[in-house]
Amino acid sequence: MPAFTSAPFPPSCALNKELLGSPSSAKHDSSQPQSDAETIQYIPGNPTVSLFPNEVYDHLSKELATPLLDKLYIQLWLVAKKSGYHIDALHAQKVKGRSIIPTEDPRLHLVWNRNKIYIKPVPLCLQNHEFWVRYLQPPKRALSSIAIGFMRSYAYLIKSPLDFAIAKESYLIPTDIDWIQWSIFINHFHLVKDESVARRYHYGQLRLSRLNWAVRIFRPKYAGARWCYENPYWSTGEFIERATFPLVFLFASVSIALSSMQVALSVPVEGLWSHEDGQQLQEMNRAFWLFSIAVVLLWLLTWVLLLGIPLVVLCAQVLWGFRNREEKQGINSSTV
């Protein structure tokens, strides 16, 4: 789909129909002429931001830009599926046991971790046709592509009346619209292709644990912390609680293995397998030795599986991502 030369939706489909005043009168409300009485002198939904272009663009950058993910774009294929359509609908997020966490931080939009997913509510200004025509047209193509990609993500988050109800409960969309209005509005973003959206939205939902590793390995420029994309622990107690079980398991398994090795070494090997009559002590030694060897072998097998399976899965994912990236590059080069 080519770049939009106007708003992605017609005025009749806009969910917000407030009329925007002229930027020149934005800070002179007391002398506002009568003809402008029904217009607003700020961007829809945010009275603190006037309609002067520099203030609007600064606000949109804070609301929508994701410079850290843009910096990681070349490496994102290692941590996620390169598909802007890889987004579970809201009801599917619930089925997978994830809570919907509304957030105003654009870099957390569609990022999930364990039993929760972060989603940024739809800014009211992006539901206004006049706002798109005035501020989101060339030469501000970068902001326009970010806004279109953001709205396209909602076309996949809200696919049914159930998703619509969950979105309202989670304060993601206005409560004064109905399902028909929303469907007609968002349908204009449903068929948008990757050529019209920002690079971040070439990917859908992202796993926080993998993003944390990407930040640790590649150390991108805009990372707020050296060791994580977003800190998953907000208290020391929670971190200790999560770390206790692996540490206890490690300590217990090593202790059992060392104890079994000590028993195996303390049993005399000479004549262990002889069958002389009346040597009950020898049979007991044999049983202890066999049990100790079995425990050590089981310990080794357990750690091979614990370390080997994640390594195999990681290698398979990296290989799949590399092949997928190569195929996509081949398709792009063949179409040039």
Amino acid 131: pLDDT: 95
Which residue's structure tokens are 């279109």?
Answer: 148
Domain boundary among 185, 218, 251: 218
Of the residues 191, 218, 245, which one is the last residue of a structural domain?
218
Q: What is the pLDDT of residue 284?
A: 77
What is the domain count for the chain? 2
What contacts 24+ positions apart, CB below 8 Å, involve 61-66?
A: 61/143, 63/104, 63/106, 63/123, 64/106, 64/123, 64/143, 64/146, 64/147, 64/150, 65/106, 65/143, 65/146, 66/106, 66/107, 66/109, 66/146, 66/198, 66/200
265, 166: one domain: no
Instruction: Examine the domain organization and report whether 197 and 159 are in the same domain.
Output: yes
- Is residue 224 one of the residues assigned to a domain? no
pLDDT by residue (tens digit) across 101-125? 999 999 999 999 989 999 999 999 9
Digitized pLDDT (tens) for each residue of the chain, 336 residues in all: 444 557 899 999 999 999 999 876 555 454 555 455 588 999 999 999 999 999 999 999 999 999 999 999 988 888 888 888 899 999 999 999 999 999 999 999 999 998 999 999 999 999 999 999 999 987 778 899 999 999 999 999 999 999 999 999 999 999 999 999 999 999 999 989 888 899 999 999 999 988 998 898 888 877 777 778 887 777 777 767 777 888 888 888 888 888 888 888 887 776 666 666 556 777 777 788 888 889 989 999 998 998 898 888 878 877 776 776 644 544 443 333
Together in a domain, 55 and 114? yes
For 84-95, b where at least 16 C-beta lie within 10 A, e where not — what string? Answer: beebbbbbebbe
- If one counts every other C-beta atom within 10 angstroms of the C-beta of residue 5, the result is 7
Give the Cα-Cα-Cα angle 302, 308, 309 (nearest 5 degrees). 95
Q: What is the pTM of this model?
A: 0.78
Domain co-membership, 111 together with 246: no
Residue 211's domain spans which residues?
Answer: 11-218
Q: Considering the domain boundaries, does residue 124 fall inside one?
A: yes
Same domain, 92 and 154: yes
- Report yes or no: 162 and 92 within 8 Å, Cβ to Cβ: no
Last residue of a domain, one of 174, 190, 218: 218
